[in-house]
Structure 1
Amino acid sequence: MTARRNIIGIGGSAGGLPAVIDLLKHFEPARPAIVLLVLHRVNETGHLVDILRRSTSLRVCEPDDGEPLRDNCLYIAPPDEHLLLGEAHLHLRRGPRENNFRPAIDPMFRSLAVFAGARATGVILSGYLDDGASGARAIVAAGGHVMVQDPASAASPDMPRAAISAVGEPENIAPPAALGRALSRAVGARAGPDGTVSEAVKLELMVAGLERASMTTEDRLGELSPYNCPDCNGVLWQIEDGPLVRFRCHTGHAYSSASLDARQEEMLERSLYDSLRSLREKARLLRDMAGRDSASAGRLCRRADDYDRDGDHVEAMILARQKRAA
């Protein structure tokens, strides 16, 4: 039987919802298709299913773990779970966050590479940073195709630009409506030969699916780096992925260079505020103690003044960082 292109994975982040709505309004395939969607979102976006149902004739649902694949369905990744394609079914897994997100686009794309091969088409829409770029490379290597929203039409062009840089020449770069029409034409087209899915891609998919994560696994993926994981403080392995440099710890947290930079920045800011709070609290406690112990009041107040001066230095650092970021 001739293999046909019928599996589509769509990923988006900031600005991705309006883009996917526009895409779906123009997605009218003549042949059956199965669509997986990952949007970086929070639990409060519970009306997403209802919103998307108004934009497409596809059956829209948040699947259960192990749900069989059905034609003409749009499966939305639930909050805080990776959505992964399997053999004729779907997996939901609370595996480690990737690129600071769960659900993340990279694991979903890798699952398309492993289980759909040349039948797969990955689509990257508007979003910050670069989730999906590594997974897009995996799809192309497996014989599949990648389409990308034109960065000029994206509210947040980072993800489209990163995907274009990662794969070199996507099948299509266009605004969302044009992507919808291009996908409609692609569905049912003869798939080319499957490419080779590397063992590294399969290992990373297993980590996302909670099937394997250990120091031995990471040692097979890359080299030890001098950096620690911002989420668990474990050592990070550095993974060379074509033009991409990525990192993964032994518990499975994964980062691109850009997402590691963003997470480190977040943790550094939190650390500075924690330090400021601790210093101010320490000075306050010492002054309270001085008020109850006249014999030691002078010494305790001098110590409090030292902590306040340290707090002033930390506060100046925070203000300087805010000024640079403005």
Structure 2
Amino acid sequence: MNKARNPMLIVVGASAGGMAALKVLVAQFSKDFPAPIFVVNHMGPHTTGEALVKILNESGSLSCVHAQHNEKFKRGYIYLAPSDQHMLIVKDKILITKGARENRSRPAIDPLFRSAAVAYGNQVIGIILTGYLDDGTSGMMAIKRCGGTCIAQDPDDASYPDMPQSVISNVGADYCLPVAEMGALLSDLLSRDLPESQPVPEDIVIEAKIAQRVLSDLPSVEALGDQVPYNCPDCGGVLWEIEEEKLLRYRCHTGHAFTSSALLAQQTDKIEETLWVALRMFEERQNLLVKMSNNEGNRSLSSISQRAQDSQVHIERIRTMLKATDKDLHG
């Protein structure tokens, strides 16, 4: 691969099905690849990510490492976000932060993409791969607004098409193609003149600072949108509604952020959790009432028996709601 005409960097976001897609992507990079590559792949907080580092090292010619805080990045390396931490980019170095989750994830794709857009503007190439829901859409919008280039995996090529389809629908990808064809496209893009530079919008700067935990207060969030009568399902704080063209998002003043789809999914999880607690408490209550009703010395047997029957009614109702919640979650 020829040297890049201009200094560029590549940011990649993936979720469900991401490991297979990333293997195909990195296999196309030559040893002299002229740009650093930053990858966020959704993972659980107790997953180390070492398996993915090993697989990506075995899949291609470039070295893949877990990103380190304040590390100066270099061309020809793949930097993977560590588990349960956000990876951000500032001028010439990487930041690893324990900021609030975005779209129910840490690491999340949006904070990486936004930080890259703020720091490097039109030098950024964003790639969104397979995954559920729509993490990465807001970040890709930031890249687009700052003059960068947006690439989405062809949804027909993705194991889980939600994330690339969301980018295509809400942002409008500059390129939409299978992962196996992205290497040739990147070679071409890195040899071209830079896209036209765009000024960095103030709202993107504010959100990038929030991710760094530099700025997270009421005035900063109020500058982004309007307060709405919803609560953050993670911390209980009030939410502000942010409209980004077709995309509707929500953010609380402590830093949690959600697209409307992610907020709905998190609310559903919280409802299910609450219902299970209520079910356990009603079952325990019913068991106690039944035991009391079996006590021949109890003078209020009819009242206790009726209360036990009432508890059974509540138990059946909660079980019905849990079945409906499970159907809502899993289709």
User: Structure 2 length normalisation: TM-score?
Assistant: 0.92
Which sections of structure 2, spanning at least 5 residues, go unmatched? none
Aligned counterpart in structure 1 of residue 232 of structure 2, from 225, 229, 233: 229
Instruction: Rate the CA distance shift 1:323–1:26 in 2: closer, same or farther, 3 A.
Output: closer
Q: CA deviation at 1:192?
A: 3.0
Instruction: Rate the CA distance shift 1:274–1:77 in 2: closer, same or farther, 3 A.
Output: same
Q: Does 1:33 align with 2:38?
A: no
Percent identity between the aligned chains?
38
Aligned counterpart in structure 1 of residue 50 of structure 2, from 46, 50, 54: 46
Contact in 2 for aligned 1:31/1:187 (Cα 8 Å): no
Q: Aligned partners of 1:201, 1:323: CA distance in 2, in Å?
A: 37
Q: Secondary structure at the match of 2:272?
A: helix
Aligned counterpart in structure 2 of residue 171 of structure 1, from 169, 174, 188: 174
Q: Does 1:260 align with 2:263?
A: yes
Question: Which range is displaced more, 35-44 or 122-131?
Answer: 35-44
Q: Secondary structure at the match of 1:101?
A: coil
CA RMSD for the aligned pairs?
A: 1.9
Which sections of structure 1, spanning at least 5 residues, go unmatched? none
User: Structure 1 length normalisation: TM-score?
Assistant: 0.94
Runs of 4+ off more than 6 Å: none
Q: Does 1:276 align with 2:257?
A: no
Q: Aligned partners of 1:151, 1:227: CA distance in 2, in Å?
A: 32
Aligned counterpart in structure 1 of residue 190 of structure 2, from 167, 187, 190: 187
Q: Residues 152-171 of structure 1: CA distance to partner in whole angstroms, max 9, x if unpaired?
A: 10001010011112222x23
Name the residue aligned to 1:71.
75
Contact in 2 for aligned 1:148/1:164 (Cα 8 Å): yes
Instruction: Rate the CA distance shift 1:232–1:53 in 2: closer, same or farther, 3 A.
Output: same
Q: 1:67-106 residue pairs with structure 2 within 5 A? A: 67-106=71-110
- Quick one: which amino acid aligns to residue 184 of structure 1? S
Q: Secondary structure at the match of 2:299?
A: helix
- Quick one: which amino acid aligns to residue 130 of structure 1? D
- Quick one: which amino acid aligns to residue 115 of structure 1? A
Contact in 1 for aligned 2:5/2:190 (Cα 8 Å): no
Q: Does 1:121 align with 2:125?
A: yes
Name the residue aligned to 2:291.
288
Q: Does 1:242 align with 2:248?
A: no
Q: 1:135-146 residue pairs with structure 2 within 5 A? A: 135-146=139-150
Higher relative contact order (CA 8 A, sep 6+): 1
Aligned length: 324
Contact in 2 for aligned 1:3/1:119 (Cα 8 Å): no
Name the residue aligned to 2:8.
6
Instruction: Rate the CA distance shift 1:69–1:323 in 2: closer, same or farther, 3 A.
Output: closer
Name the residue aligned to 2:323.
319
Q: Secondary structure at the match of 1:123?
A: strand
Q: Does 1:134 align with 2:138?
A: yes
Q: Does 1:299 align with 2:303?
A: yes
